[in-house]
């Protein structure tokens, strides 16, 4: 295994949780809901996945439990932000605080316990490609799922009727209701999907990235995922690019620090954030494209008039 | 009248069961609806026969929108019954209404701006996607009814007329049995309105019933065979508009004679107060309009009205005059003083008064009290509302009370927040606030947009009175009736160009309509 290959493998590992969480939040936001609780759902997903895998010895149950924990937390958010129409920003922030605390509490007995690592499932044929094969096609199921989700969400939004309805709800909920669509139901479904994705992102952290549980192990990745969605102008392909760009620079700057470039380490650590923001800002300069993909009703509570 | 004849026809046929064709398309009986303590509707009846074009008339706040929303399923009535084709409707929801063929063109468009025309239409058709088959279908129907739309275009790029065509087309593609139109002609040129009437007559001939909401009574007499009149949430009458006059319809709506604006007026030309010289500005942002060589001399004591369909540069011109958009030197003069490089506050101090189109958030801060809103607009002359940099709230409240008194602004007790006033009352307040300053020049954009007949007449009379006192008044309006009511001279804005203002007596509606579409024709020819 040469260095390039090793670096590429870690880049994919670092990018996958960002991609999973961001693609889920993208769907939520395209439905007009801003859920700032990604970090909270992610960490509860991480602890739930670790605990279930540790307790049962089954990685599959771990993944499922991570996703379900994310869904559970997101439904709590939906209860307030969608059904009771509370302020979405405040509710999302509260969810993150709640999630971080809850995860610390649940995770207490698991600190320092050896975890389960997800098996690599080589894809026949593709895994034999040099360099790319081991990095992208000899990976765990969540890496593959993140690729499938990007393509799937992209097609869903652009081509399917259900995706069109979801975009309509995020654009103009009043008009969608006038056409007979059940705005709040659609939004709750979108929020739950986002919760599942965040939970899976957490599961990837505690079952693949670093197979163990440590308090605060998400380390702000939920916030990065949120920023990626905005800077990617709500387009799945750009979320993919953004997540990998961020992952790549985050890993490369570590290697650069190891080699010793003479730059202060703080500057190097800040590099992925700065570089990603610059790259995505440059991408989002096309005003027409931006208007077509920005959900106009984002963050606005919707109360149906009866 | 139609109600009685229909019911009596049914009773006389007696035993052999009412023929299907005789059942009204819609029969709403004794509908009541309250919002909190406000009774929006009290026992309203409405009957529309198959293929009938029926008008729903009433002032703002008469309950037209509420009634229509109930019919459309967007609101639930507190009591009363709704029958459709003789069948009682129990479940009220937009989805159920649409499955019965009840469709609606909303006044404030209900299109999805970020989506394409085809996607907007697909959303209204069960199970359809915005594919090539749908685009083909849209083109076919748009040709059949003469409603030009491009399926692939993004709605955000369309002007208001095209947006309305999309809404109408979306309704037509749902095989409507009852089409509801809320103020459809308020955004159209006279020519576009005539085209719309053709489509409506054709639909009616095909058996589709049409419920038509409008303030324009002349249209009702031309188009409709029945009319239901509401006043303050109550059912007033069911009339045959062809047997009525515009004045008698207006009387029934308002409940008293509508004050008419005095026709006779002396408009003596005096010195030029505001002068715009070859003003050109690039397109501001994506969906704006570039201003092209706009020139205008506004004399003290006169009212110049700028007609035109919205989105032809009116907003851009207003922003240039107000100072929200910098214009540079050499193009804008107030009493021969170049004010082009001055900001909004400096222009206001120099004697310019401004009433922008958007009442809430632009002309007034919704969350602040009326008195506080006055303080914000008193630049140069504070009228005692500010002393040593400190706001004197009692003086501001007194000033607010004076304006409310003078302009008959109906609002809550004390000094309520601007956002709590109804649209018409806030508009009267905003216009009154500016007139009260006795400005040298008043520029007002859409002075009576969404304001009912009585309040509109009061605002227009106030504008005329201001001009009589020697101020120069520039009115930007889409309402042709208003333009012809108040203007001394009329100019037309089309595609960012302003026509030479002509004395009102030399202008006709047809001439104005031709000028409104001048830009498009030039483009077609090119």
In three state form, how does the secondary structure of B173-225 look? CCCCCEEEEECHHHHCCHHHHHHHHHHHHHHHHCCCEEEEECCCHHHHHHHCC
- For residue B152, give the 3-state DSSP assignment: coil
Name every residue whose Cβ is closer than 8 Å to that of residue B459 and which is 6 or more positions away in sequence. B427, B428, B431, B447, B448, B451
What pLDDT is recorded for position B261?
55
Q: Report the phi/psi class of residue A125: left, alpha or beta, with left for phi > 0 and alpha for psi in -120 to 50.
A: left
Q: How far is B107 from chain A (nearest CA, A)?
A: 12
Tokens linked to A240: 């993919």
Q: Which residues of A214-240 are buried (b: 16+ CB within 10 A; e: fewer)?
A: beebbeebbbbbbbbbbbbbbbbebbb
- On the CB side of B146, CA atoms within 13 Å amount to 11
What pLDDT is recorded for position B520?
53
A-B C-beta contacts closer than 8 Å = 78
User: How far is Cα B383 from Cα B433, in angstroms, rounded to an integer?
Assistant: 12
Pairwise pLDDT comparison (A230 vs B59), residue with the higher score: A230
What pLDDT is recorded for position B422?
74
- A210: containing domain: 3-222
Chain A residue numbers touching B130 (CB-CB < 8 A): 164
Residue A288 lies inside a defined structural domain of this protein: no
Which among B49, B98, B19 is positioned nearest to B204, based on CA atoms? B49
Interface predicted TM-score of the whole assembly (ipTM), two decimals: 0.85
- First-to-last alpha carbon distance for chain A, in angstroms, is 65
CATH superfamily of B272-525: P-loop containing nucleotide triphosphate hydrolases (3.40.50.300)
Which among A172, A175, A213 is positioned nearest to A62, based on CA atoms? A213
User: How far is Cα A7 from Cα A10, in angstroms, rounded to an integer?
Assistant: 5
Yes or no: say if A32 and A92 are a contact pair by the CB < 8 Å rule.
no
What pLDDT is recorded for position B107?
67
User: How far is Cα A266 from Cα A257, in angstroms, rounded to an integer?
Assistant: 10
- Rounded to the nearest integer, the mean pLDDT of chain A is 92
Yes or no: say if B9 and B198 are a contact pair by the CB < 8 Å rule.
no
What pLDDT is recorded for position B13?
34
Q: Would you tell me how many other CB atoms lie within 10 Å of the CB of residue B174?
A: 17
What pLDDT is recorded for position B417?
86
Yes or no: say if B87 and B101 are a contact pair by the CB < 8 Å rule.
no
What mean pLDDT is predicted for residues A72-87?
96
What pLDDT is recorded for position A82?
96
Tokens linked to B195: 């085209």
What pLDDT is recorded for position B265?
54
Q: Are residues A168 and B123, on separate chains, in Cβ contact within 8 Å?
A: yes
Q: How far is A106 from chain B (nearest CA, A)?
A: 44
User: How far is Cα A279 from Cα A59, in angstroms, rounded to an integer?
Assistant: 36
In this structure, whether the domain defined by B2-11+27-101+176-254 belongs to CATH 3.40.50.620 is answered with: no
Q: Which residue of B has its CA nearest to A167?
A: B115
Residue A110 lies inside a defined structural domain of this protein: yes
Q: Are residues A161 and B115, on separate chains, in Cβ contact within 8 Å?
A: no
What pLDDT is recorded for position A141?
95
Suggest the residue from B123, B130, B155, B156 to mutate for an interface test with chain A (most A CBs closer than 10 A). B123
What pLDDT is recorded for position B134?
93
What pLDDT is recorded for position B187?
66
Q: Which stretches in chain B have pLDDT values below 70? A: 1-21, 60-61, 107-109, 186-187, 256-269, 285-287, 380-382, 450, 518-526
Pairwise pLDDT comparison (A153 vs B245), residue with the higher score: A153
Q: How far is B413 from chain A (nearest CA, A)?
A: 27
What pLDDT is recorded for position B264?
46
A285 touches chain B (CB under 8 A): no
Q: Are residues A294 and B129, on separate chains, in Cβ contact within 8 Å?
A: no
Instruction: Give a three-class secondary structure readout of chain A.
Output: CCHHHHHHHHHHHHHHHHHHHHHHHHHHHHCCCCCCCHHHHHHHHHHHHHHHHHHHCCHHHHHHHHHHHHHHHHHHHHHHHHHCCCCHHHHHHHHHHHHHHHHHHHHHHHCCCCCCCCCCEECCCHHHCCCHHHHHCEECHHHHHHHHHHHHHHHHHHHCHHHHHHHHHHHCHHHHHHCCCCHHHHHHHHHHHHHHHHHHHHHHHHHHHCCCCCCCCCCCHHHHHHHHHHHCCCCHHHHHHHHHHHHHHHHHHHHHHHHCCCCCHHHHHHHHHHHHHHHHHHHCCCHHHHHHHCCCCCCCCCCCCC
Pairing of strands B489-494, B303-307: parallel
User: How far is Cα B203 from Cα B84, in angstroms, rounded to an integer?
Assistant: 18
Chain B residue numbers touching A306 (CB-CB < 8 A): 75-76
What pLDDT is recorded for position B120?
94
Q: Which residue of A has its CA nearest to B73?
A: A178
Least confident of A25-39, A292-306, B259-273: B259-273
Q: pLDDT digits over A2-19, tens only? A: 788 889 999 999 999 999
Alpha helices in B52-115 (DSSP H): 64-72, 94-99
User: How far is Cα A165 from Cα A202, in angstroms, rounded to an integer?
Assistant: 29
Total structural domains within chain A: 1
User: How far is Cα A18 from Cα A240, in angstroms, rounded to an integer?
Assistant: 9
User: How far is Cα A3 from Cα A249, in angstroms, rounded to an integer?
Assistant: 16
Yes or no: say if A221 and A205 are a contact pair by the CB < 8 Å rule.
yes
What pLDDT is recorded for position B161?
76
Yes or no: say if B130 and B116 are a contact pair by the CB < 8 Å rule.
yes
Q: pLDDT digits over A106-151, tens only? A: 999 999 998 889 999 999 989 999 888 988 999 999 999 999 999 9
Alpha helices in B61-189 (DSSP H): 64-72, 94-99, 117-124, 132-144, 160-172
Name every residue whose Cβ is closer than 8 Å to that of residue B505 and which is 6 or more positions away in sequence. none
Q: pLDDT digits over B391-429, tens only? A: 888 888 888 999 988 888 877 777 888 887 777 788 889
Which among B14, B40, B50, B44 is positioned nearest to B31, based on CA atoms? B44
| pTM check: above 0.90 | no
Name the residue facing B115 among A161, A167, A174 (closest C-beta): A167
Q: What is the DSSP letter of B500?
A: P
B125 touches chain A (CB under 8 A): no
User: How far is Cα B481 from Cα B504, in angstroms, rounded to an integer?
Assistant: 12
User: How far is Cα B51 from Cα B72, in angstroms, rounded to an integer?
Assistant: 18
Residue A83 lies inside a defined structural domain of this protein: yes
Yes or no: say if B497 and B491 are a contact pair by the CB < 8 Å rule.
no
Chain B residue numbers touching A178 (CB-CB < 8 A): 72, 74, 94, 104, 106, 110
What pLDDT is recorded for position B95?
83
What is the dihedral angle through the alpha carbons of A25, A26, A31, A35, rounded to the nearest 10 degrees?
30
Q: Are residues A161 and B110, on separate chains, in Cβ contact within 8 Å?
A: no
User: How far is Cα A77 from Cα A268, in angstroms, rounded to an integer?
Assistant: 36
Residue A35 lies inside a defined structural domain of this protein: yes
Name the residue facing A171 among B104, B113, B128 (closest C-beta): B113
Name the residue facing B111 among A161, A175, A287 (closest C-beta): A175
Residue A233 lies inside a defined structural domain of this protein: no
Tokens linked to B476: 């930007």
- Percent pLDDT > 70 in chain A is 99
**Residue B274 phi, psi dihedral angles, 5° rounding:** -130, 130
What pLDDT is recorded for position A55?
94
Suggest the residue from A30, A156, A164 to mutate for an interface test with chain B (most B CBs closer than 10 A). A164
CATH 3.40.50.300 in chain B: give the residue spans: 2-11+27-101+176-254, 272-525
Q: Are residues B75 and A291, on separate chains, in Cβ contact within 8 Å?
A: no
Pairing of strands B234-239, B441-445: unpaired
Most confident of A257-261, A280-284, B27-31, B60-64: B27-31
Suggest the residue from B77, B114, B287 to mutate for an interface test with chain A (most A CBs closer than 10 A). B114
């Amino acid at each position: 295994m040469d260095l390039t290959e090793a670096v590429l493998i870690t880049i994919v590992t670092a990018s996958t949780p960002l991609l999973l969480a961001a693609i889920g939040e993208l769907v939520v936001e395209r439905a007009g809901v801003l859920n700032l609780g990604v970090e909270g759902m992610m960490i509860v997903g991480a602890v739930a996945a670790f605990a279930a895998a540790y307790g049962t010895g089954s990685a599959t149950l771990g993944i499922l439990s991570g996703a379900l924990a994310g869904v559970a937390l997101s439904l709590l958010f939906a209860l307030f932000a969608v059904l009771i129409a509370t302020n979405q920003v405040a509710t999302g922030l509260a969810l993150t605080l709640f999630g971080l605390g809850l995860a610390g509490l649940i995770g207490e007995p698991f600190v320092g316990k050896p975890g389960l690592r997800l098996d690599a499932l080589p894809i026949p044929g593709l895994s034999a490609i040099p360099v790319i094969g081991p990095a992208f096609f000899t990976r765990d199921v969540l890496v593959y799922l993140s690729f499938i989700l990007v393509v799937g969400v992209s097609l869903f939004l652009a081509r399917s009727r259900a995706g069109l309805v979801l975009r309509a709800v995020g654009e103009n909920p009043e008009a969608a209701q006038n056409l007979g669509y059940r705005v709040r139901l659609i939004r709750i479904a979108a929020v739950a999907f986002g919760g599942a994705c965040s939970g899976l992102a957490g599961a990837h952290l505690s079952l693949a990235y670093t197979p163990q549980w440590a308090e605060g192990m998400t380390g702000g990745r939920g916030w990065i995922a949120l920023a990626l969605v905005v800077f990617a102008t709500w387009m799945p392909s750009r979320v993919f690019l953004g997540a990998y760009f961020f992952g790549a620079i985050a890993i490369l700057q570590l290697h650069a620090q190891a080699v010793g470039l003479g730059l202060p380490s703080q500057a190097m650590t800040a590099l992925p954030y700065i570089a990603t923001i610059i790259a995505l800002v440059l991408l989002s300069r096309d005003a027409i494209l931006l208007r077509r993909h920005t959900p106009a009703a984002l963050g606005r509570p919707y109360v149906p008039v009866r | 009248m139609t109600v009685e004849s229909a019911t009596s026809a049914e009773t006389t046929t007696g035993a052999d069961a009412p023929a299907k064709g005789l059942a009204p398309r819609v029969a709403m009986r004794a509908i009541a609806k309250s919002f909190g303590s406000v009774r929006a509707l009290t026992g309203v009846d409405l009957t529309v026969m198959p293929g009938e074009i029926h008008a729903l008339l009433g002032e703002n706040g008469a309950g037209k929108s509420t009634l229509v929303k109930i019919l459309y399923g967007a609101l639930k009535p507190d009591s009363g019954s709704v029958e459709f084709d003789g069948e009682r409707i129990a479940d009220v929801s937009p989805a159920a209404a649409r499955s019965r063929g009840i469709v609606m063109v909303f006044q404030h468009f209900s299109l999805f701006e970020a989506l394409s025309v085809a996607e907007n239409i697909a959303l209204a058709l069960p199970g359809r996607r915005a594919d090539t088959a749908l685009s083909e279908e849209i083109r076919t129907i748009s040709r059949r009814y003469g409603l030009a739309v491009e399926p692939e275009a993004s709605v955000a790029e369309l002007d208001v007329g095209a947006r309305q065509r999309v809404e109408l087309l979306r309704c037509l593609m749902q095989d409507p049995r009852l089409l509801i139109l809320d103020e459809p002609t308020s955004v159209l040129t006279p020519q576009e309105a005539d085209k719309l009437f053709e489509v409506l007559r054709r639909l009616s001939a095909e058996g589709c019933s049409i419920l038509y909401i409008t303030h324009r009574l002349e249209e009702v007499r031309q188009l409709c065979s029945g009319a239901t009149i509401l006043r303050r949430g109550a059912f007033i009458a069911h009339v045959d508009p062809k047997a009525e006059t515009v004045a008698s319809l207006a009387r029934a709506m308002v409940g008293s004679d509508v004050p008419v604006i005095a026709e006779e007026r002396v408009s003596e030309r005096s010195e030029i107060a505001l002068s715009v010289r070859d003003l050109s500005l690039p397109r501001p942002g994506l969906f704006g309009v570039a201003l092209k060589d706009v020139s205008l001399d506004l004399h003290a004591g006169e009212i110049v009205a700028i007609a035109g369909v919205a989105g032809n540069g009116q907003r851009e011109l207003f922003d240039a005059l107000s100072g929200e958009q910098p214009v540079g030197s050499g193009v804008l003069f107030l009493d021969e003083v170049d004010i082009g490089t001055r900001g909004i506050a400096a222009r206001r101090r120099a004697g310019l008064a401004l009433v922008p189109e958007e009442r809430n958030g632009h002309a007034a801060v919704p969350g602040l009290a009326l008195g506080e809103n006055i303080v914000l607009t008193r630049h140069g002359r504070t009228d005692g509302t500010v002393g040593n940099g400190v706001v004197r709230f009692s003086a501001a409240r007194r000033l607010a009370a004076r304006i409310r008194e003078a302009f008959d602004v109906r609002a809550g007790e004390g000094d309520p927040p601007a956002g709590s006033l109804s649209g018409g009352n806030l508009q009267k307040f905003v216009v009154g606030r500016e007139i009260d300053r006795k400005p040298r020049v008043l520029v007002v954009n859409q002075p009576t947009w969404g304001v009912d007949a009585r309040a509109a007449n009061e605002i227009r009379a106030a504008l005329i009175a201001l001009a009589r006192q020697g101020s120069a008044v520039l009115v930007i309006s889409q309402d042709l009736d208003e333009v012809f009511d108040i203007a001394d001279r009329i100019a037309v804005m089309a595609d960012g160009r302003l026509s030479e203002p002509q004395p009102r007596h030399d202008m006709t509606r047809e001439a104005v309509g031709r000028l409104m579409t001048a830009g498009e024709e030039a483009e077609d020819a090119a």
